Amino acid sequence: MVTPQRPLDLFGVEELIDDEDRALRDTVRDFTADRLRPHLADWFENASIPARELARELGKLGVLGMHLDGYGCAGTSATAYGLVCMELEAADSGLRSLVSVQGSLAMFAIWRWGSEEQKQEWLPRMAAGEVVGCFGLTEPDFGSDPGGMRTFARRDGADWVLNGTKMWITNGSVADIAVVWAQTDDKIRGFVVPTDTPGFSAPEITRKLSLRASVTSELVLDDVRLPAAAMLPEARGLSGPLSCLSEARYGIVFGALGAARDCLETAIAYTQDRTIFGKPLAGYQATQLKLADMTLELGKGMLLALRLAALKDAHELRPEQVSLGKLNNVREALAIARECRTLLGANGISLEYPVMRHAANLESVLTYEGTSEVHQLVIGQQLTGHPAFR
């Protein structure tokens, strides 16, 4: 017998993380262990989560918009943000989604494309978790092709009037503001919409089989009247929302690995304790072959994520490189979750263990922020020079 190692220890990744980033990661890991993990099975089973309460706690922890500078944001490294996403998703993808949508979609949209007045008004309170935001881009008939959106904003005097529907919006029913993207006579523009504006509603989507520990909603805009100051002045065209998606996808590159790591560590512990035919399940070759292959994919994904983090910290990360990370790491994380389920046998489908919950969540993560096929085509275009989306 040799002393067992944790999967990522074989890759020496701790040596690639500086002390400050590691300390923040460990703080969030402790938070998930103490505050989140005891409730995850119930939140998932009941499809109910105290989102606003958690937002305030996460704000106090300093992780909402943590990678942004100023306006109450921590201004951490991209590596630190990735590691935090990893720890949150090791608990549950829905919790990482809450933080991603708040920080990388709603807050980033205002931080990158908003006016100084909008930044001052919203970002400090969003960083503190006092104001919850959502991001309205996807529509019932337009997911991978957001440029075809039907939501329209028309000018009426000095005001804007918005009509349309958005779908699959994380945080929608609990949000105080929604960043909504709409067609106009001057290309696609973004708007900051307080959710108490007349004509705005956000019915929650129920009967989900995935991301049950997360609030998912429809947004309905029925003659929603906004002042001119509600428009994000610096965003014009699809580059605005797509830049936000790239920020969120970056967090998923790390986050998916958290879910995979949690599944793999659970499977290793389970096979050590489970006795079959007179010896631990971990002692059989078939088990070790599975564990070795999964560890290899987890480690490769982690090395890729850390490389992308270094590029982002150097302001050199390109969207197609984020596509590489999102495509590989989510796809491999889902495969790991499914394989770990087999090692737990019948217990693998129980909420007493996190594996099936992670697998169900990762089915959604595989699709949102760009399907695997979209990311394959992004990479294919870079390799060939030919766009093949149509």
Nearest partner of 52 among 211, 172, 204, judged by Cα: 172
Q: What is the CATH number of the domain that holds 28?
A: 1.10.540.10
Residues 6+ apart with CB under 8 A from 56: 128, 129, 130
Q: Let me know whether 117 and 165 are in one domain.
A: no
Final residue of a structural domain among 128, 149, 183? 128
Contacts of 164 (CB under 8 A, 6+ apart): 139, 149, 150, 151, 152, 182, 221
Task: Look at residue 4 in the predicted model and tell me its pLDDT.
Answer: 87
Q: Is 147 helix (H, G, I), strand (E, B) or coil?
A: helix
The confidence score (pLDDT) of residue 1 equals 74
* Inside any domain, residue 23: yes
Q: What share of the chain is helix, strand, coil (3-state, %, to 5)?
A: 60, 15, 25
2 belongs to a structural domain: no
SS3 letters across 264-297: HHHHHHHHHHCEECCEEHHHCHHHHHHHHHHHHH
Residue 117 sits in the same domain as residue 15: yes
| 148 shares a domain with 120 | no
Per-residue pLDDT at 145: 87
- Residue 137: other Cβ atoms inside 10 A: 27
Q: What is the model's pLDDT at position 254?
A: 98
Q: Does an H or E element contain 337, and which?
A: helix 319-343
Range of the domain at 308: 240-384
The structure's pTM equals 0.95
Predicted local confidence at residue 329, as pLDDT: 98
Q: Does any domain span residue 220?
A: yes
389 within a domain of the structure (yes/no) = no
371 and 245 share one domain: yes
Q: Is residue 110 assigned to a domain?
A: yes
Has 218 been annotated as catalytic? no
Q: Which of 45, 352, 369, 373 is catalytic?
A: 369
Residue 211, C-beta contacts closer than 8 angstroms, at least 6 positions apart? 93, 94, 97, 170, 361, 364
- Is residue 354 in a domain? yes
Q: Which of 211, 237, 263 is the last residue of a domain?
A: 237
Domain count, the chain: 3
Is residue 390 included in any domain, yes or no? no
Do 94 and 64 share a domain, yes or no?
A: yes
Do residues 123 and 151 both lie within one domain?
A: no
Amino acid 150: pLDDT: 96
Tokens of 88: 């949150």
Query: Quick one: 363 and 335 in the same domain?
Result: yes
List helix spans (H) across 50-107. 51-61, 78-91, 93-100
| CATH code for the domain in which residue 284 is found | 1.20.140.10
CA trace torsion 78, 84, 88, 90 (10° rounding)? 100
The CATH code of the domain that includes 224 is 2.40.110.10
- Residues 356 and 274 both lie in one domain: yes
User: 120 and 137 share a domain?
Assistant: no
Provide block-wise average pLDDT over 10 residues at a time, the chain (390 residues). Answer: 90 96 97 97 97 98 97 96 98 97 98 98 98 97 90 97 98 98 96 98 97 97 98 95 95 98 98 96 97 98 98 97 98 98 97 98 95 96 94
Task: Out of 215, 237, 259, pick the residue that ends a domain.
Answer: 237
CA of 66: how far to CAs of 14, 55, 173, 242, 347, in Å?
A: 21, 13, 23, 20, 37
Q: 73 and 108: one domain? A: yes
Q: According to the model, what pLDDT value does residue 143 have?
A: 86
**Same-domain pairing of 103 and 139:** no
In-domain check, residue 347 = yes
**247 and 343 both lie in a single domain:** yes
d(CA 153, CA 145) in angstroms, rounded, equals: 19
pLDDT for 271 equals 98
